[in-house]
Structure 1
Amino acid sequence: MEALTITECGSGPAVAFVHGGAGPRTTWTGLESLSAHWTLLLVHRRGFGTSPPPVGGRQDFEVDADDLEAVFREHRPHVVAHSYGVLGTLLVAARAPESVRSLTLIEPPLYFLAAKDPEVARLQRIGDEVLTQGLDADPDILREFLTLAGAPDVGTEGVSDAAVRRAWGGRLPGEARPDLDAVRAAGIPALVASGGHLPALESICDGLADALGARRLIAPGAGHFVPAAPGFADQLTRFLASAHRRAPR
């Protein structure tokens, strides 16, 4: 497997940031202050930046897991993951829990955690149509998906179109079944965060926090891009400091 591109800045213990459908620059805006006390490792998933192209031309959380395991084993970082990036991260944490010090998991599309919630079922249908149909999806559904995802330039050609093309044909999140019992049994400190902007995502995050015995944080003000929400950086810093003290060296 070709190595992923990682942009590094700061000093101190390592924190790896794993983005989802948007690139690192968009996803992690608001967390620059952490570099004063932590070494920030901004991972570029396949198809982003100068990382290798996706295997078979499509995003796949199983391939992400193989890529990320190499990164995590090398650095043994605290990990902050967003959206689709949470899927591969949790697969690694389940099979190689010793490779991570803590997990911060932000608004993942783990639909099975709230399978009986009609809002979650609807969110899954919208997401699946966009991933399978791309720009040929129903325009109203496409617009709603991009709005919920916090994509820029909704309704215009440009960044949003590029994001849809990159996601098109990707492995559907509904296929992901990370072993959450294994992650919990490993005792990995975990924080589950959401932005308080969509009931379906709140249900999923509540379910994930319950499954992992994790701390739960709601940080409104930035939609899906929770890291930019007011106060989130400070709360993440406190969690990382606490988890670092707890994690075995």
Structure 2
Amino acid sequence: MMGNGVYWGPIAETLRDHVRISAPDLPGHGQSPDWDGGTPDYHTFTTRTVAALIDRPLDLIGHSMGATVALRIAVAAPEAVRSLTLIEPVLFAAAPDAHNDALMAEVEAKLKAGEDAEAARAFLACWGGLDWDAQTPAGRARLARQIHLVHASNEALRHDAANILRPDGLEAIDAPVLIIMGEESPPVIPAIADALAARMPDVGRARVPGASHMLPITHPRQVAELIALNLERA
């Protein structure tokens, strides 16, 4: 979310002897077309777009919202998944958090006031790991547009509108699962990991020292090595 598939380049290079990685840009990101804001909702539209690329059991790897998309596919079609690696999954409905609720309320209020840039800045201060002031004007404008997509994912992530947490859903995933977190990530992330792991039959957890939410970019070697361990388990 608010990035593009190019960021997976270093991880793909490290894993080139294990798998070939396809990293599609989310709708409204990179070179993908925009989401029209209609039906289906953003999370559903994204999930269907990714699911259409699956023609055999695959190793699904997702970061942040992408991890919730991968998890949604795994719950709906466990036979399509050979292994599942979830990096910082932001399925907030699994572990409601007052701090994150307050942040998203602040983002929503700023968007309603037409303060898109300030909404993006507030969100990224917690979840982005970047220096807003160091961004180019074009970069800040892009992030200000894309913060609307963050808001559009709220129903799925905070209220589980996609019903990912339905009874017997997580329990049906029989592929090896690995949840990777940054040691310095917001406390809601390990809480989500605990809630998900408690319901999965074959799951491991790992924390990367010195890393926070954007660890696929900041710590690609460590993340790639952990992904490789899960690939080997599959």
Q: Same fold (TM over 0.5)?
A: yes
For 1:224 and 1:34, locate their aligned partners in 2 and report how far apart those are by CA, in whole Å. Answer: 21
For 1:237 and 1:211, locate their aligned partners in 2 and report how far apart those are by CA, in whole Å. Answer: 23
Tell me the CA shift for residue 31 of structure 1: 4.5
Higher relative contact order (CA closer than 8 Å, sequence separation 6+): 2
1:130 to 107, 110, 114: 107
Per the alignment, residue 232 of structure 1 pairs with: 223
So what's the TM-score if we normalise by structure 1?
A: 0.75
1:104 to 85, 88, 91: 85
Q: Secondary structure at the residue paired with 2:199?
A: helix
For 2:30 and 2:214, locate their aligned partners in 1 and report how far apart those are by CA, in whole Å. Answer: 19
CA-to-partner distance for each residue in 1:70-117, whole Å, 9 max, x for gaps?
Answer: 112x243101101111222222211111111111111122122222xx
* 1:55–1:163 Cα change, 3 Å: same
CA-to-partner distance for each residue in 1:32-63, whole Å, 9 max, x for gaps?
Answer: 21113211111212112322221327971111
Q: What CA RMSD, in Å, does the superposition of the two structures yield over aligned residues?
A: 2.7
* 1:93–1:34 Cα change, 3 Å: same
**Structure 1 gaps, min length 5:** 1-19, 244-249
For 1:143 and 1:53, locate their aligned partners in 2 and report how far apart those are by CA, in whole Å. Answer: 21
Per the alignment, residue 38 of structure 1 pairs with: 19
For 2:9 and 2:100, locate their aligned partners in 1 and report how far apart those are by CA, in whole Å. Answer: 23
For 1:133 and 1:208, locate their aligned partners in 2 and report how far apart those are by CA, in whole Å. Answer: 31
Query: Any conservation in 1 of the 2:170–2:196 contact (CA below 8 Å)?
Result: no
Query: Any conservation in 2 of the 1:111–1:124 contact (CA below 8 Å)?
Result: no
1:59-78 maps to which residues of 2 (within 5 A)? Answer: 60-72=42-54, 74-78=55-59
For 1:76 and 1:51, locate their aligned partners in 2 and report how far apart those are by CA, in whole Å. Answer: 24
Q: Secondary structure at the residue paired with 2:53?
A: helix
So what's the TM-score if we normalise by structure 2?
A: 0.79
Per the alignment, residue 207 of structure 1 pairs with: 195
Per the alignment, residue 217 of structure 1 pairs with: 206
Q: What is the number of residues matched between the two proteins?
A: 218
For 1:190 and 1:70, locate their aligned partners in 2 and report how far apart those are by CA, in whole Å. Answer: 22
Q: Secondary structure at the residue paired with 1:98?
A: helix
For 1:226 and 1:156, locate their aligned partners in 2 and report how far apart those are by CA, in whole Å. Answer: 19
